[in-house]
Structure 1
């Protein structure tokens, strides 16, 4: 773990040479610096060329489970009955009445044209069905309901080609499009614009932070160069992953930000250590070797913590989360590898010129503690450790209080309100919500694939009667008639044939509750609880939401176990202590509390919206975002923990003084961790400038987590906890001590 900084016992002329695998790798890369850098340049250019086609191959959707009951019901409806909830909804506004001869003719022509388009399961409209629910109260707008075949991604691809031919002026009608497939399409387009905006914002701000941290333009430029190469590799990684699996379109925004931020952070760690080693009197080659042996080792462990945290997403069978796990794991590994392989040859070329153009050098010389190494972080650590119980209790209570709003969190699946207010799909959805009250509540669908209405009509009628008797049921449409209030209200009509095929049937259960609300979820569970004469599948919007939330709740403990166990094992192998791993898990949980409270306070309830820009708040959070944010943020928080602990333990092993080691570690890493956290918070926080509320929520939440972790947790809670536990921080039972001596993570 430690890097020798003592004078050589043989010569007494400066630090002794360093040894170890990473040190040997550093010397090899430095000695062959020109060849290595030429290879890196060629690989970066090749990666950029390969990754250029990544965006076109990314997928939309992935928020529902393929094996869920609701998904299977929707699939059966489309394949066997040519039915199911529409995923494209067109609002067609006429200059006069929608049932005027000209508007009616154009409306029928539009509906007919859509129904014959490739990939369309059905197209229905006010003009073809006469359903009054598809006509607005003022009589000037009508709806066209379109069902596209295939899964979410297939429907999204179909919508990309079909919808542009349908919107705009269509004869006497002005047409707008919404629905899940169109929302996904517009979200894809918006995310591409957001990525450009975030990159333009993050890069110059990152350079300013690096310049403030290093002073030197040369030192500040190196991490940016490594970050750019890492981003080129990120595009290539995403392109390669699309050959093996579906990858969410949002992976492009999230992984490029994560890869760039971590590559810059890891470079910051290594370059800072390199400057320290030069200041201790090492030659350039030995300074590089010492830097990679110490800071490089920490980079490896830091990357491993993020990888393990992201791997917890793999327990969820949603390709939105799984693809982000695959991409995130590959990108974090790439960021670490790029930093470790590029910096030794770059530093060998630059040598002592690393501090060229240091515009802040005079200021640093005048700062208190600049010459003695007892600066503000050292003094802060000592001040905290004088009253550790008071400081620790106050900060912990503050963080817990900030988390309290999360106890009132409500979750739902993504809909059109993730888009900006002015987007076409959102405006069309607002029209549907305001002018088509009868069409707002998507029916619950019940598929009975083996219940033949012709042979078992009475059983079907009895089942439909019981469904219609449920509170909030408006009616139940079936192949044997319409049911309401627990009895048949109308005989089979012309539309009854649509509810049957040769072997089975399906039922449409219309209610008066919002499918996305808590009442809608409760109603869905009541429908599923009604005994059916044959096995049935219950689908619809409420069913999809309930199935997704139930699955996430079932898998969440497993994800927590993956993170908890892997972090405990890794930190034990890293530190040799059983106390530090448990303590760090607790502190990491506290660092997440403020963000989770803010998610509810700002994005669910709509308070302080001006802090992150305008968005449509729905009173609910997208159900997958807190899980994604937890896994990413937990890894980033542990990342900084590893870096701080490495310096504390290094000094503790050298001196045996826990209090001094904590103050030393804080002083050596305080400014560095602050700069690193500001960089990651800036890069990820740039996502908060997105026009998509799902990215805005993720970016703001991650940025806040990182900042809270680097200030309140690392600056106050860590020294307080380290002082309270004292030498017990490093305790482990004798058998585990022997295990660590044999298998502990070292560089030798």
Structure 2
């Protein structure tokens, strides 16, 4: 204890006497406490106002600008006002025969006049599509672009009107969007999800601190979240802000702000337990844990570059919103938290059960076991990672299959009735092939020769031709929603490249193919850039080439394990039905893996930074790798575990959202955090550091000198 106290005092002297940027921040905010609190109170109140306004300004744009399917979709919307990249709704009229066919046709004509914004395609205006089979009439309802997560209400209204006009026939509504939305509850809502996660986080914090001090990280998180919403409101007037950002800011923002607060408050308590005065303990925490927080936030930001540079508005705005989370959390933590600790920290640290000066005894023992049995520990951790990662070899990218939806909903019943009467699954995902009206007959003819296309036709009248553009409908033999079912889409788009009479190809399948190209076309280069930036950042901060390389490589293994579990959980359906009551999705939506990579790459680096910076600090004091690992784990093991559980609770709360895609995203992030904080950072990382020995600390002289300059400025 005496040695630890002297070390802490010596370290404080060094940090205080040098021009340490983070301790300087501490001095400034402590000297202007009233101003700091006033500023953040104003931001908090303004953020509360902004949070209620930004929801109405969120974008539901799934565009992929510059991609051929999107360009064709925009032409269709320009000429027809509907259709394009969204799959049509489908009204199914059962019981149609020669005795009532004219009545059905008259009812469709009347409803079409009542809803001029909707394009109707049926067996009456497009007999070549073979939409009437065994008494089932399929009516395509092409609608405009979505304006919310909920499907358009117009198809329901049209279906109800037809049911009213055709009382002797059974009329039902189905379609890709309707199947995805059917049977889904409204969920808790973002506010309720955040409150639930906050309550869970408070319970973890109460266990960690065993004092009322547990409320301070929640206060920091509340200020950070509302401050982020305030900036998002301003950004919404400059650029699109995706609806996904609302969930991420509330729940990931909650977890990150609490994690960063937890790191500094834990270090503050440790220094107070070592005998430092309150102000000195705050400055010491800022100089050490504050630096780790800043480094962690930057690594999160680097990972999110993967989203910002993509030519997809949905993901770009998600990346921008994601970057705001660590930036604002760092700002609040480094300015408001020191002030709160100076004003009320000691009073809230009741009943004064401070962390033992030697760290966590449990994690001290774990550190000794791992360092004493490094090879067995690494083999166990590596074996688990490989087993978890294996399913990723069969991952499919795309949207949920119709068969993954509940089979008991009206939309699903209607869809399965179509399959039972001879329709192909591709009835849900027709392609739209556009041309000049003069070339439409030629295109219809050649589409009949394309492999995977079972029917095609140009609808008569305004349903197929408007303002000089013809829109020929083609039905594939499969539901074209993922990488395993794109063959018909590829065949038609390949035809379009060689036939100048085809202006473009659109539809859900073409849009999904666009998404695959836009998101993953430059992935190898993007991953390389992010890995290099992270390596430079960590090697400079940790003063070690080896530790930086290890961190990047280990992170990739951690991500592989996460994607493997996600594939097994959702795509194969081994746990999706048990946990969420949802059958196997058959694929993982395109934007989800890259989003998980972007967030998880940075979030998992948080824990790497927390652990390695402390191990590096202990090595600088004692000069022993094993002692540094054991002491570092004893100081950070409980912290990292608690932080991971808090983030997991946030993701578990996010998984209560009614949208399957959000649930898949939340599941991936939650699983990834647990795997990373336990198997990777808790076992593999300390085992590797022990095996590397003195090699861990190798650094070229010129780079080391550069790093020293950066540290002192």
TM-score w.r.t. the length of structure 1 is 0.84
Q: Is the 8 A contact 2:217 2:257 kept in 1?
A: yes
Partner of 1:573: 540
Q: How big is each residue's C-alpha offset from its partner over 1:297-342, in whole Å with a ceiling of 9 and x where there is no partner?
A: 1111111110111121122211221111011111221111112222
How far apart in 1 are the matches of 2:23 and 2:509? Answer: 58
How far apart in 1 are the matches of 2:338 and 2:462? Answer: 73
Per the TM alignment, residue 722 of structure 1 is displaced from its structure 2 partner at its CA by: 0.6
Partner of residue 325 from structure 1, selected from 319, 327, 332: 319
Per the TM alignment, residue 254 of structure 1 is displaced from its structure 2 partner at its CA by: 1.9
Partner of 2:336: 342
Q: How big is each residue's C-alpha offset from its partner over 1:50-88, in whole Å with a ceiling of 9 and x where there is no partner?
A: 2211111112141x4121111122222343467755755
Gaps of 5+ in 1: 365-369, 479-493
Q: Is the 8 A contact 2:88 2:428 kept in 1?
A: no
Per the TM alignment, residue 226 of structure 1 is displaced from its structure 2 partner at its CA by: 1.1
Partner of 2:565: 598
Q: How big is each residue's C-alpha offset from its partner over 1:578-598, in whole Å with a ceiling of 9 and x where there is no partner?
A: 111110111112222332111
Partner of 2:74: 75
The answer as to 2:653 corresponding to 1:686 is: yes
Partner of 1:386: 372
How far apart in 2 are the matches of 1:48 and 1:428? Answer: 44
Partner of residue 667 from structure 1, selected from 634, 640, 651: 634
Partner of residue 431 from structure 2, selected from 444, 456, 459: 444
Partner of 2:390: 404
Partner of 2:114: 113
Q: Is the 8 A contact 1:14 1:281 kept in 2?
A: no
Per the TM alignment, residue 143 of structure 1 is displaced from its structure 2 partner at its CA by: 4.6
CA 1:467 to 1:429, structure 2 compared with 1: closer, same or farther past 3 Å? closer
Partner of 1:27: 27
Q: Is the 8 A contact 1:5 1:16 kept in 2?
A: no
Q: Is the 8 A contact 2:654 2:666 kept in 1?
A: yes
Partner of 1:43: 43
How far apart in 2 are the matches of 1:243 and 1:357? Answer: 48
The answer as to 2:669 corresponding to 1:702 is: yes
Partner of 1:563: 530
Q: Is the 8 A contact 1:602 1:608 kept in 2?
A: yes
Q: Is the 8 A contact 1:191 1:253 kept in 2?
A: no
How far apart in 2 are the matches of 1:186 and 1:48? Answer: 33
Partner of residue 553 from structure 2, selected from 552, 571, 586: 586
CA 1:83 to 1:195, structure 2 compared with 1: closer, same or farther past 3 Å? closer
Q: Is the 8 A contact 2:128 2:457 kept in 1?
A: no
Partner of 1:489: none
How many residue pairs align between the two structures? 700
Q: Is the 8 A contact 1:452 1:503 kept in 2?
A: no
Alignment of 1:129-208 (within 5 A): 133-134=130-131, 137-139=134-136, 142-149=137-144, 152-153=145-146, 162=154, 166=158, 168=160, 171-172=164-165, 179=175, 193-208=188-203
Partner of 2:585: 618
Alignment of 1:422-433 (within 5 A): none
CA 1:277 to 1:694, structure 2 compared with 1: closer, same or farther past 3 Å? same
Partner of residue 718 from structure 1, selected from 680, 685, 708: 685
TM-score w.r.t. the length of structure 2 is 0.88
Partner of 1:491: none
**Structure 1 residues 637-646 or 246-255, which shifts more?**
246-255
CA 1:423 to 1:233, structure 2 compared with 1: closer, same or farther past 3 Å? farther
CA 1:520 to 1:677, structure 2 compared with 1: closer, same or farther past 3 Å? closer
How far apart in 2 are the matches of 1:237 and 1:418? Answer: 38
Partner of 1:472: 452
Partner of residue 221 from structure 1, selected from 210, 215, 218: 215
CA RMSD of aligned residues (A): 3.6
CA 1:428 to 1:206, structure 2 compared with 1: closer, same or farther past 3 Å? farther
Per the TM alignment, residue 177 of structure 1 is displaced from its structure 2 partner at its CA by: 5.4
CA 1:434 to 1:277, structure 2 compared with 1: closer, same or farther past 3 Å? farther
Per the TM alignment, residue 668 of structure 1 is displaced from its structure 2 partner at its CA by: 0.6
How far apart in 2 are the matches of 1:5 and 1:371? Answer: 12
How far apart in 1 are the matches of 2:367 and 2:409? Answer: 50
Gaps of 5+ in 2: none
Per the TM alignment, residue 352 of structure 1 is displaced from its structure 2 partner at its CA by: 2.5
How far apart in 1 are the matches of 2:393 and 2:277? Answer: 56
